[in-house]
Amino acid sequence: MKRTLGTCYYPEHWPAEMWEDDARRMAGAGLTWVRIGEFSWSRLEPTPGDLHWDWLDRALDVLGAAGLRIVLGTPTATPPRWMVDRHPDMLAVDADGRPRRFGSRRHYCFSHLGYRDESRRIARLMADRYGRNPHVAAWQIDNEYGCHDTTISYSDAARAGFRDWLAQRYQSVDALNRAWGNVFWSMEYASFDQIDLPNLTVTEPNPAHVMDFRRYSSDMVVAFNRAQVDEIRPRSDAPISHNYMGRITDFDHFVVGADLEIATWDSYPLGFLEDRVGASATHQRAFARQGDPDFQAFHHDLYRAVGRGRWWVMEQQPGPVNWAPYNPAPLPGMVRLWTWEAFAHGAEAVCYFRWRQAPFGQEQLHAGLLRPDSQEAPGLAEARQVAEELDDASTVQPSQAPVALIFDYQADWAWATQPHGVGLSYFGLVFDHYRALRRAGLSVDILSPDTRNFDGYALVLAPGLIHLDPDLASALSTTDAQVVYGPRTAARDQFFNIPTPLPPAISGLSFTVSRIESLRPDMPIGLSGGGSVQHYFEEIEGDAERLLITDTGGAVVLARGRQIYCGGWLDDTGLDRLTALLADRTGLDILSLPEGLRCRKTATEEFWFNHTTKTINTPHGPLGPAGVLRHAL
Amino acid sequence: MKRTLGTCYYPEHWPAEMWEDDARRMAGAGLTWVRIGEFSWSRLEPTPGDLHWDWLDRALDVLGAAGLRIVLGTPTATPPRWMVDRHPDMLAVDADGRPRRFGSRRHYCFSHLGYRDESRRIARLMADRYGRNPHVAAWQIDNEYGCHDTTISYSDAARAGFRDWLAQRYQSVDALNRAWGNVFWSMEYASFDQIDLPNLTVTEPNPAHVMDFRRYSSDMVVAFNRAQVDEIRPRSDAPISHNYMGRITDFDHFVVGADLEIATWDSYPLGFLEDRVGASATHQRAFARQGDPDFQAFHHDLYRAVGRGRWWVMEQQPGPVNWAPYNPAPLPGMVRLWTWEAFAHGAEAVCYFRWRQAPFGQEQLHAGLLRPDSQEAPGLAEARQVAEELDDASTVQPSQAPVALIFDYQADWAWATQPHGVGLSYFGLVFDHYRALRRAGLSVDILSPDTRNFDGYALVLAPGLIHLDPDLASALSTTDAQVVYGPRTAARDQFFNIPTPLPPAISGLSFTVSRIESLRPDMPIGLSGGGSVQHYFEEIEGDAERLLITDTGGAVVLARGRQIYCGGWLDDTGLDRLTALLADRTGLDILSLPEGLRCRKTATEEFWFNHTTKTINTPHGPLGPAGVLRHAL
Amino acid sequence: MKRTLGTCYYPEHWPAEMWEDDARRMAGAGLTWVRIGEFSWSRLEPTPGDLHWDWLDRALDVLGAAGLRIVLGTPTATPPRWMVDRHPDMLAVDADGRPRRFGSRRHYCFSHLGYRDESRRIARLMADRYGRNPHVAAWQIDNEYGCHDTTISYSDAARAGFRDWLAQRYQSVDALNRAWGNVFWSMEYASFDQIDLPNLTVTEPNPAHVMDFRRYSSDMVVAFNRAQVDEIRPRSDAPISHNYMGRITDFDHFVVGADLEIATWDSYPLGFLEDRVGASATHQRAFARQGDPDFQAFHHDLYRAVGRGRWWVMEQQPGPVNWAPYNPAPLPGMVRLWTWEAFAHGAEAVCYFRWRQAPFGQEQLHAGLLRPDSQEAPGLAEARQVAEELDDASTVQPSQAPVALIFDYQADWAWATQPHGVGLSYFGLVFDHYRALRRAGLSVDILSPDTRNFDGYALVLAPGLIHLDPDLASALSTTDAQVVYGPRTAARDQFFNIPTPLPPAISGLSFTVSRIESLRPDMPIGLSGGGSVQHYFEEIEGDAERLLITDTGGAVVLARGRQIYCGGWLDDTGLDRLTALLADRTGLDILSLPEGLRCRKTATEEFWFNHTTKTINTPHGPLGPAGVLRHAL
pLDDT tens column, C415-439: 999 999 999 999 999 999 999 999 9
pLDDT at B248 over 90: yes
Residue range A225-251, pLDDT digits in tens: 999 999 999 999 999 999 999 999 999
Sequence-ordered strand ranges (E) for C434-567: 444-447, 459-462, 482-485, 511-518, 525-526, 532-542, 545-549, 555-560, 563-566
CA dist A301 to A287, A465, A606, Å? 21, 19, 16
Q: Do B100 and A194 touch (CB under 8 A)?
A: no
Q: Where in chain C is the domain with CATH 3.20.20.80?
A: 4-159+206-392
- Rounded CA separation A168/A561 (Å): 42
Residues of B in contact with A203 (CB under 8 A): 104-106, 147-148, 362
- Cβ-based contacts of B500 with chain C (< 8 Å): 359, 372-373
ipTM of the modeled complex: 0.97
Give Cα A214 to chain centroid, integer Å: 17
- Best to test chain C binding among B178, B184, B540 (most C CBs inside 10 Å): B184
- Looking at chain B, the whole-number percentage of residues with pLDDT higher than 70 is 100
* pLDDT tops 90 at residue B1: no
Q: Does position B352 have pLDDT exceeding 90, yes or no?
A: yes
Q: Which of A315, A382, A538, A606 is catalytic?
A: A315
Give the span between the Cα atoms of A512 and A567, in whole angstroms: 10
- Say whether C69 counts as a known binding-site residue: no
User: Tell me: the pLDDT tens digits for C193-214?
Assistant: 999 999 999 999 999 999 999 9
Residues 6+ positions from C572 with CB-CB distance below 8 Å:
C432, C435, C436, C439, C531
Residue B77, CA distances (Å) to A167, B48, B141, C285, C423 in order? 28, 17, 9, 48, 45
Predicted confidence band at A96 (pLDDT cuts at 50, 70, 90)?
Answer: very high
List, as ranges, residues 316-375 from B with C-beta within 8 Å of C.
Answer: none
pLDDT of residue C548: 98
Please tell me the CATH superfamily of domain B4-150+231-392, with its number: Glycosidases (3.20.20.80)
Question: How much of chain B, in percent, has pLDDT values that exceed 90?
Answer: 98
Q: Contact B373/A501, CB-based, under 8 Å?
A: yes
**Residue contact A200–B371, C-beta within 8 A:** no
pLDDT tens-digit readout, C447-492: 999 999 999 999 999 999 999 999 999 999 999 999 999 999 999 9
C323 closest CA partner among A315, B265, A587, B203: B203
Judged by CB atoms closer than 8 Å, whether chains meet at C82 and B518 is answered as no
Q: Is C214 annotated as a binding residue?
A: no
pLDDT of res. A131: 98
* The CATH number of domain C4-159+206-392, selected from 3.40.630.40, 2.80.10.50, 3.20.20.80, 1.10.3720.10: 3.20.20.80
3-state secondary structure of B378: helix
Q: Active-site residues of B: which are they?
A: 144, 315
B64-83 tens-digit pLDDT: 999 999 999 999 999 999 99
Question: What does the pLDDT average to over C306-327?
Answer: 98
**CA A194 → CA A93, B85, B90, C407, C473, distances in Å?**
20, 9, 16, 58, 65
Average pLDDT over residues B242-266: 98
Contacts with C189 from chain A: Cβ below 8 Å: 81
Q: C367 falls in which pLDDT band (50, 70, 90)?
A: very high
Q: How large is the average pLDDT for residues A242-269?
A: 98
pLDDT at C1: 81
What's the alpha-carbon Rg for chain A, to the nearest Å?
25
Interchain CB contact of C13 with B (< 8 Å)? yes
DSSP letters spanning B501-514: SPSB--TT--EEEE
CA distance A143 to chain C (A): 11
Q: Which fold, A4-150+221-392?
A: TIM Barrel (3.20.20)
Q: Kindly report, as residue ranges, where domains of CATH 3.40.50.880 are found in chain A.
A: 403-586
All CATH 3.20.20.80 domain ranges of chain A, comma separated, are: 4-150+221-392
Mean pLDDT, residues B394-399 = 90
Chains meeting B at 3+ CB pairs closer than 8 A? A, C
What's residue A192's pLDDT? 98
pLDDT of C508 reads 92
Q: What is the pLDDT of residue C393?
A: 81
Residue A39 with chain C: CB contacts under 8 Å: 184-186
* DSSP string for residues in A261-273: SEEEEEE-HHHHH
Spatial distance between the Cα atoms of C184 and A358, rounded to a whole number of angstroms: 9
Task: Write down the pLDDT at residue B467.
Answer: 98
Q: Is the pLDDT of residue A170 over 90?
A: yes
**Residue B198: is its pLDDT beyond 90?**
yes
Q: Give the pLDDT confidence of C290-310 residue by residue, as tens digits.
A: 999 999 999 999 999 999 999
Inter-chain residue contact C102 with B183, CB threshold 8 Å: no
Nearest one of A177, A171, A164 to A220, comparing CA atoms: A164
pLDDT of res. B392 = 87
- Provide, as residue numbers in chain A, all residues whose Cβ is less than 8 Å from the Cβ of B80: 186, 188
Q: Taking residues C504-519, what's their average pLDDT?
A: 95
Contact status, residue A185 vs residue B104, Cβ threshold 8 Å: yes
- Min Cα separation A580/chain B (Å): 29
Q: How many CB pairs under 8 A join A and C?
A: 164
Judge: A498–B360 Cβ closer than 8 Å, yes or no: yes
**Is residue B415 a known part of a binding site?**
no
Going by pLDDT thresholds of 50, 70 and 90, the confidence category of residue A1 is confident
Residue B91 has pLDDT above 90, yes or no: yes
Question: Is residue C464 classed as helix, strand or coil in its secondary structure?
Answer: coil
CATH 3.20.20.80 maps onto chain B at 4-150+231-392
Check residue B18 and give its pLDDT.
98
Residue from the list B186, B500, B501 with its beta carbon closest to the beta carbon of C39: B186
The annotation status of A105 as a binding-site residue, yes or no, is yes
Whole-number pLDDT of residue C19:
98
Query: For residues A294, A296, A301 and A303, what is the CA-based torsion angle, rounded to 10 degrees?
Result: 150
Q: Find the closest chain B residue to A503 by CA distance.
A: B373
Q: How far apart are CA A224 and CA A226, in angstroms?
A: 6
pTM, to two decimals: 0.98
How many Cα atoms within 13 Å fall on the side-chain side of residue C37? 31
Give the residue-averaged pLDDT of A152-158: 98
* Residue percentage of chain C with pLDDT more than 70: 100
Residue C172 vs residues A150, B210, B253, C161: alpha-carbon distances, Å:
33, 50, 65, 16
Q: Above 90 in pLDDT, residue C394? A: no
Q: Which chain C residue has the Cα nearest residue A330?
A: C517
Please report the pLDDT score of residue B38 as a whole number: 98
pLDDT band at A393 (very low <50, low <70, confident <90, very high): confident
Q: Is pLDDT of B393 > 90?
A: no
Which of the following CATH numbers is that of domain C403-586: 3.40.50.300, 1.10.1520.10, 3.40.50.880, 3.30.465.10?
3.40.50.880
Q: Which of A118, A144, A348, A382 is catalytic?
A: A144
What span, in angstroms and rounded, lies between the C-alpha atoms of B347 and C103? Answer: 46
Shortest alpha-carbon distance between residue A632 and chain B (Å) = 49
At C18-44, the pLDDT tens digits run: 999 999 999 999 999 999 999 999 999
Q: Cβ–Cβ contacts within 10 Å for residue C293, how many?
A: 25
Longest dimension (CA), chain A: 76
Report the alpha-carbon distance of residue B421 to residue B403 in Å, rounded: 29
Q: Rounded CA gap, C109 and C107, in Å?
A: 7
Question: CA of B197 to nearest chain C CA: how many angstroms apart?
Answer: 9
- The arithmetic mean of pLDDT across residues B586-607, rounded, is 97
Q: How confident is the model at residue B317 (pLDDT cuts 50, 70, 90)?
A: very high
pLDDT at B624: 98
Per-residue confidence (pLDDT) for residue A292, from 0 to 100:
98
